[in-house]
Amino acid sequence: MTDKLIIFDTTLRDGEQSPGASMTRDEKLRIARQLERLKVDVIEAGFAASSNGDFEAVRAIACAIKDSTVCSLARANDRDISRAAEALKLAPRARIHTFIATSALHMEKKLRMSPEQVLEQAKQSVRFARNLLDDIEFSPEDGYRSDMDFLCKVLEVVIQEGATTINVPDTVGYAVPELYGQFIKTLRERVPNSDKAVWSVHCHNDLGMAVANSLAGIKIGGARQVECTINGLGERAGNCALEEVVMAVRTRRDFFNLDIGIDATQIVPASRMVSQTTGFVVQPNKAVVGANAFAHASGIHQDGVLKARDTYEIMRAEDVGWSANKIVLGKLSGRNAFKQRLQDLGVSLESESEVNHAFTKFKELADRKSEIFDEDILALVSDESVTPQREHFGFVSLSQHSETGEQPHASIVCTVGGKEVKGASGGNGPVDASLKAIESFVKSGAEMVLYSVNAISGSTESQGEVTVRLQNSGRVVNGVGADPDIVVASAKAYLSALNKLHNKSDRVAAQG
């Protein structure tokens, strides 16, 4: 007899809360479509009440996704819950995930509420939500650091009110595997109506144990839902990584004895899409999705793998989607093939003129680069200059000169609010000069907190993908740009970050 483990993906909600990882509605929609192809059971699409942008993103995902349940987070109050229900109205399968903090520390210092008030608010909120939807998840925030007796009382009451999933967050990543597993087990034993709900684990990675803690919650505690994000994206050190928890349960089925509905061949494409969209680069030695995860460098290992793969491989690279790294298009590919590939990658450009613009960019790229990979196409459409009419700052052209012994110099032409503007500057290097040339007319005053370059498909012929993280007035944004010329990619990334600072939207933080 096996049970099913429900995979609840929160890349678009908890993952997106990571400073700099915020995504546009279209980017979220594209990732949601990939999550559906990955066959996750639940997609937490956002926190509808936090901003109009998040509301629209949840609504768009609710309309587009057919096979996964779409969920919105909501604080335990009627307004948030109504906004969530409204955003989810058109979803074939919808869930509201409501939460309130239950640890003494959070209740006293953050909420300034007594335990009795928190208990009452949890009860009323779940009752209210249950009148709007059948599928209700409840989370006691900072649950792992909450008093066991109080937590049991709260969870008993919310199950009585109709919560169908109980999620136990280790909000600050404080747990260790055995204790967290035991914590879930004790809750399930002590809450009298625990059998009326599915139990779920939600672990943060502050001590690097999010996956281990989640697995212990499943194995020792008997949880049957795991909350996770692609690449472990999330605030601070991130959340439990979907690819790791899924492949651990699948590879060690002998131990976990659980079924998972995931199509693992979609894991690497999902990882790449999230990394390219957010600019959060995946470390090479990251389990399952890192570039070295299946590379055998030592002679002894290579020899063993050639003789029999299972001498050193416990998973096959192609089973998690590494073979998806294929040449898909080239110089001779036509508009229809390009459009079809966009569709296969889950990219929907809104109008024919956007498709035409993207196709022109693709042709320009194909003239400079003979092999075009899926990653190149995704980079091309992530690049805001594909839809320049929507952006305040747009890239037009760049020329720069650098020579040994001379100070590099750059001249750039951009659009600002649709008008062409020119700037020029010297700098420490060609990239520095180009970004200073942009600043010469933008004068954003933003501080650069990260600059990174990554070769998209691994060779010098590949496109350079640049991530720029800017900080201004307490906001942190990431901009991503791609081009075979890394100086141009840097200028595009800088403009993309400036656009995000320009389109500022105020959001309410889930844990704020």
Residue ranges that bind ligand KIV, judged by CB under 6 A: 14, 99, 139, 141, 169, 171, 202, 204, 510
Q: What minimum distance in Å lies between the beta carbon of 205 and Zn ion? A: 10
- Cβ proximity to Zn ion: between 76 and 437 the closer is 76
By CB under 5 A, name the one of 8, 11, 13, 14 that touches Zn ion. Answer: 14
- Pick from 455, 489, 480, 482: which is nearest to 22 by CA? 480
- Cβ proximity to Zn ion: between 14 and 161 the closer is 14
- Cβ proximity to ligand KIV: between 169 and 346 the closer is 169
Q: Which residue stretches of 13-77 are H helix? A: 25-37, 52-64
**Cα distance between the two ends of the chain:** 43
Q: What minimum distance in Å lies between the beta carbon of 337 and ligand KIV? A: 42
Give the span between the Cα atoms of 145 and 274, in whole angstroms: 31
- Cβ proximity to ligand KIV: between 50 and 434 the closer is 50
Give the span between the Cα atoms of 216 and 293, in whole angstroms: 24
- Cβ proximity to ligand KIV: between 171 and 276 the closer is 171
Q: What minimum distance in Å lies between the beta carbon of 154 and ligand KIV? A: 14
DSSP category for residue 50: G
Q: What minimum distance in Å lies between the beta carbon of 279 and ligand KIV? A: 22
Query: Tokens 């740009």, residue?
Result: 481
**Footprint on residues 442-481 left by Zn ion (CB under 5 A):** none
Q: Considering all CA atoms of the chain, what is the largest pairwise distance in Å, rounded to the nearest integer?
A: 77
- Cβ proximity to ligand KIV: between 28 and 500 the closer is 28
Q: Which does 99 bind (CB under 5 to 8 A by kind): ligand KIV, Zn ion, none?
A: ligand KIV
Q: What minimum distance in Å lies between the beta carbon of 206 and ligand KIV? A: 11
- Cβ proximity to Zn ion: between 231 and 425 the closer is 231
137 makes contact with Zn ion (CB under 5 A): no
Task: Output the six-digit token pair for 87.
Answer: 């955003």
Whether 91 contacts 70, CB under 8 Å: yes
Please calculate the CA angle 422-424-430 and round it to the nearest 5 degrees: 125
Q: What minimum distance in Å lies between the beta carbon of 93 and Zn ion? A: 22
Near Zn ion by CB under 5 A, which window of 12-20, 36-44, 72-80, 181-189?
A: 12-20
Instruction: Say how many residues touch Zn ion, by CB under 5 A.
Output: 1
Task: Output the six-digit token pair for 97.
Answer: 């995930």
Pairing of strands 198-203, 6-9: unpaired
Q: What minimum distance in Å lies between the beta carbon of 239 and ligand KIV? A: 8
Give the span between the Cα atoms of 427 and 352, in whole angstroms: 40
Give Cβ neighbours of residue 30 (< 8 Å, ≥ 6 apart).
273, 277, 345, 346, 347, 348
Residues in the site for Zn ion, rule: CB under 5 A? 14
